[in-house]
Structure 1
Amino acid sequence: MIPRHATDTALRLARGFPILAITGPRQSGKTTLAKSLNPGRAYVSLEEPDQRELALVDPRGFLARFPDGAVIDEAQHAPDLMSYLQGLVDARQRMGDFVLTGSQQFGLMSRITQSLAGRVGRIELLPFSLPELAGASLLPGDLDTLLWRGAYPPLYDRPLAPGDWFPSYIATYLERDVRQLLAVRDLTLFQRFVRLCAARTGQLLNLSALANDCGISHTTAREWLTVLEASYLVLLLPPYFRNFGKRLVKTPKLYFLDTGLAAALLGIRDSAALNIHPQRGALFETLVVGEFVKQRFNAGQPAGLWFWRDNTGNEVDLLFESGTRLQPVEIKSGATLVSDWLRGIEKWRSLVGADALPGWLVYGGDDEYSRAGIEVFPWRSIGEAAGRT
């Protein structure tokens, strides 16, 4: 098992809450983490029809089987169970009594909010981060291989190639999760929608254009995109527009949370094809944004990330709070620094004035240094940069 950086956070939360909830996309390692935190603890998966039926029909009887607590996998399949868990954990007053996992935010998190407020510590677990892969000596040796392979655990703990695993993952997700969450009659149309989203990773979200290209209504596109968000496949990065007037972009940017999945949806069959692929820059930006999100989620924090862009094209790819100020981060996939790359940060700093922090640049090269007061991080050090936030 590759050690997860969320482990310490999970142990801390389990000492202070009777229930620990681990959410994230399918195959991100939720069950493995939950079991590693609770060796010898009873385990039950609500993916199994008989267990799910018992939890739905006789929730009290279902929970009575676990006097010493349990790991309940895919708990979103029995959302009403949360109301019964409330009474049980209140009566037992034991910290870390139950661990719940779930791959959809809709059913699980809405019930947790309603029934278990104040009783649940929550971790959002995404696929491996670069520091986790590096710590296990599994980080790919070149950037294109990393972008193509992504970071889902099965691709690192089994002898599987991305071209073999991702088609099955995509098909399973469409057949299993989408049918549960949406009344999608034409799965081919939904798959087209997902591929069109992958083609827009790293771009401003234009929901009307996305709907038109897919041949669906604006309302349907919004609904489907919400499902992708709830399933931890995509992230909408909000713009930062406070205190800088009205001439700013206020549309979010769309990002996939794994570059391998996005590359598979784009039809990229090997890492060599990425070197000249028109989406390489967008996939690199997707990688960097995803790493910053993972660092925060592993620490039990919300994403807390923004981008900034004005209506003349000046842009900072990423902003996050550092104390009372905002740290600007520029992202470029090229291996050789070009002075034009710093223009967005320079514009930002001129607007902020004396309170402006020195900028960061994350790029596709190998060297780490400073230039014009800006710290330059190579792609291998994305985790180091994100960990300083």
Structure 2
Amino acid sequence: MVRREICEELLESAAEYPVVTVLGPRQAGKTTLVRMAFPDKPYVSLEDPDVHLAAGADPRGFLRSVGEGAILDEVQRLPALLSYLQGMVDELPTPGRFVLTGSHQPELHRAVAQTLAGRTAVLTLWPFSVGELRHYKPTWDAFELIVKGCFPRLHQENLSPRRFFNGYLQTYVERDVRALVRLRDLSLFQRFLVLLAGRVGQVVNHSSLANDVGVSATTIRNWLNVLQASYAVFEVPPYFQNIRKRVVKSPKLYFTDVGLCAFLLGIHSEQQAFRDPLRGNLYENLVVTEVIKGALNRGVRPEVYFFRDSHGNEVDLVVRHEGTLIPVEIKSSETFSPAFLKGIERFRGLGAGPTSPGFVLYNGDRTFEVGGTRVRNPLHVEHLWQTLTAPPRPG
């Protein structure tokens, strides 16, 4: 089993807080993580029907049975339990007493915010990072990962991505989506998912998407909220603070695991991914998720944006770290071109605030600098988040 990069942050959090809550998408490895990190804690899954029934019928009695502490898995199944948990940890606030996991956010986030505020650390676990995947193979091709994705079971059990994502999608729609929204026509939602995959890495126009799916723009917004709530997709907002030019103010959308996006697009081989018109968008999705995983695994809530003005000038990713803006251009090409620097140079000239020379993350093998801008292959960098946020070397 792979020791997850978030494990150190998890153990440090448990040393300070009586409750630690680990959120993230289904199959990201939350259960394996917490059971490995706390092997001596009793484990209880609220997915088990008998456990769920008992905990719902007598929450005080249920919690008393694990009063010394336990791992409570899939607590979104019974968020009301957290109100009773609050009283227990207030009476005996032993650090690391309870470890909770959950797969989707809305009710669970509200329950955590209302009842466990100040009593729990909240961490987010996404599928494997490239650093964790090196446990299985020292080097990875970007388009191989785009097709296979990063869910742990795919790599631990060497599963077929096509079969895995087919089952994952059915389970996800049946369990999480139906739990969060009433679906009258499942086929419309499935069509929505496919069309959304075709807009990966782009600013999503709700009205256009609604017309293509055949539902209202309000329904599209609700469905997008569901996808974000269950960690299937996420948005990167635009950066426009301190910028006087007309800029795009709608977010771009990505999939939490690029393999699911490729599956929805019918891409099942590296060759397909390499030739697909969306290869640049898929590569961008892979890199953006890698940046975010690096931050989340260290307990950091990353401030990530993109920039685009009305003239089409764009920077794929802008990371704000300790007051400094770090522009990042992402290219799927294996050959560097000076044109890759244009967006970064224009952004730095806008006077948006303290701005570093930035990075070009591309699919080539060479590592070098151009005018202070560092050019790297993100899959060859040992710790991408630390590399992006480290201060530039003097001189």
TM-score normalised by the chain length of structure 2:
0.95
Moved more, 280-289 or 243-252: 243-252
Q: For 1:61 and 1:326, how far apart are their aligned partners in 2?
A: 51
Instruction: Tell me if structure 2 keeps the 8 A contact 1:309–1:316.
Output: yes
1:67 Cα shift? 2.6
Moved more, 101-110 or 321-330: 321-330
Q: For 1:309 and 1:381, how far apart are their aligned partners in 2?
A: 28
Write out aligned runs for 1:51-90 (5 A): 51-90=51-90
1:139 Cα shift? 5.3
1:234 Cα shift? 0.7
Q: For 1:281 and 1:154, how far apart are their aligned partners in 2?
A: 26
Residue type at the aligned position of 1:311: S
Q: For 1:142 and 1:159, how far apart are their aligned partners in 2?
A: 16
User: Does residue 1:345 correspond to 2:330, yes or no?
Assistant: no
Aligned counterpart, 1:244: 243
Instruction: Tell me if structure 2 keeps the 8 A contact 1:143–1:379.
Output: no
Q: CA RMSD in A?
A: 1.4
Q: For 2:107 and 2:138, how far apart are their aligned partners in 1?
A: 35
Instruction: Tell me if structure 1 keeps the 8 A contact 2:307–2:316.
Output: yes
1:383 Cα shift? 5.2
Instruction: Tell me if structure 1 keeps the 8 A contact 2:303–2:321.
Output: no
Aligned counterpart, 1:190: 189
User: Does residue 1:168 correspond to 2:164, yes or no?
Assistant: no
Write out aligned runs for 1:224-263 (5 A): 224-263=223-262
Q: Write out per-residue CA displacement over residues 269-295 of structure 1, whole angstroms, 9 at most, x where no aligned residue.
A: 212211211111000000111011111
Aligned counterpart, 1:41: 41
Aligned counterpart, 2:392: none
Aligned counterpart, 1:308: 307
1:303 Cα shift? 2.6
Aligned counterpart, 1:373: 372
Aligned counterpart, 2:297: 298
Instruction: Tell me if structure 1 keeps the 8 A contact 2:105–2:230.
Output: yes
Write out aligned runs for 1:250-289 (5 A): 250-289=249-288
1:192 Cα shift? 1.1
Q: Percent identity?
A: 46
Q: For 1:355 and 1:90, how far apart are their aligned partners in 2?
A: 44
Q: For 1:130 and 1:332, how far apart are their aligned partners in 2?
A: 18
Aligned counterpart, 1:5: 5
Q: Write out per-residue CA displacement over residues 278-330 of structure 1, whole angstroms, 9 at most, x where no aligned residue.
A: 11100000011101111111111213101111100001111112332201100
Q: For 1:91 and 1:112, how far apart are their aligned partners in 2?
A: 18
Instruction: Tell me if structure 2 keeps the 8 A contact 1:362–1:382.
Output: no
Aligned counterpart, 1:30: 30
Instruction: Tell me if structure 1 keeps the 8 A contact 2:21–2:121.
Output: yes
Aligned counterpart, 1:115: 115
Q: For 2:282 and 2:334, how far apart are their aligned partners in 1?
A: 15
Unaligned residue ranges in structure 1 (runs of 5+)? none
1:247 Cα shift? 0.7
**CA distance 1:334–1:99, shift in 2 (3 Å):** same
Residue type at the aligned position of 2:109: M
1:355 Cα shift? 4.0
1:197 Cα shift? 1.2
1:40 Cα shift? 2.4
1:141 Cα shift? 3.4
Instruction: Tell me if structure 1 keeps the 8 A contact 2:242–2:353.
Output: no
Aligned counterpart, 1:202: 201
Tell me the SS of whatever aligns to 1:27: coil
Instruction: Tell me if structure 2 keeps the 8 A contact 1:77–1:107.
Output: no
Q: For 2:137 and 2:185, how far apart are their aligned partners in 1?
A: 39
Instruction: Tell me if structure 2 keeps the 8 A contact 1:130–1:382.
Output: no
User: Does residue 1:216 correspond to 2:215, yes or no?
Assistant: yes
Unaligned residue ranges in structure 2 (runs of 5+)? 390-395
Q: Write out per-residue CA displacement over residues 306-362 of structure 1, whole angstroms, 9 at most, x where no aligned residue.
A: 111110000111111233220110000000011211110010122238943112000
Q: For 2:142 and 2:242, how far apart are their aligned partners in 1?
A: 37
